[in-house]
Amino acid sequence: MRTALSIYRHLLRLEFWRWKRVNYYVLALFAVLLALDTAIQLLFKVGVTHQGIFPLHSLSAAAAYLARIANEPMIWLGAVGMVLAFLTWLAIIARIELSKAHPATAFSYVTVTLASGIFLHEDVSVLKIAGILLIMLGVYLVAE
């Protein structure tokens, strides 16, 4: 875990952001985007878990399932979060190059995995942590 944090700090401090002074407004927007994306994923997971598995065996069962999903408050909260995340993303890419902004969105793999482990009690294995570290390394390499 310490290695992941040190890579994350390195990306924020040094090579990843190629402007002379750190644009704290953009960093704050990225923090908001990561928080929104993480919350969206958790809300969708909780909402869909309340309704069970999507039925593929019949069209009428699928339609009934979709009607139940449409009445699920967690799904609606997630949808509102998606709109807010979209607006935040537009604010980010209006300020920095897309080739620098888009790789940073991969940090949501870290936040969603950790949040699902903490709040949903999902398994966060050593293999998953290794995969997250590889993703972070990939973000670093892409941003170079």
Question: Is the pLDDT at 5 greater than 70, yes or no?
Answer: no
What pLDDT is stored for residue 17 in this prediction?
47
**130 with 107: CB under 8 angstroms?**
no
What pLDDT is stored for residue 15 in this prediction?
47
What pLDDT is stored for residue 7 in this prediction?
59
- Residue 106: band (very low, low, confident or very high) from pLDDT cuts 50, 70, 90: confident
Query: Which residues lie below 8 Å from residue 13, measured CB to CB, with a gap of 6+?
Result: none
Quote the CA–CA distance of 70 and 37 in Å, as a whole number. Answer: 20
What pLDDT is stored for residue 118 in this prediction?
95
Which pTM was predicted?
Answer: 0.77
Kindly state the helix (H) or strand (E) to which residue 133 belongs, with its residue range: helix 126-143
115-143 per-position pLDDT tens digit: 999 999 999 999 998 998 898 888 888 77
Q: Token match 């991969």: residue? A: 106
50-85 per-position pLDDT tens digit: 888 888 888 999 999 999 999 999 999 999 999 999
Q: Token match 């339609």: residue? A: 63
What pLDDT is stored for residue 48 in this prediction?
92
What pLDDT is stored for residue 139 in this prediction?
80
Strand ranges, E, within the chain: none
11-32 per-position pLDDT tens digit: 555 444 454 456 889 999 999 9
**22 with 97: CB under 8 angstroms?**
no
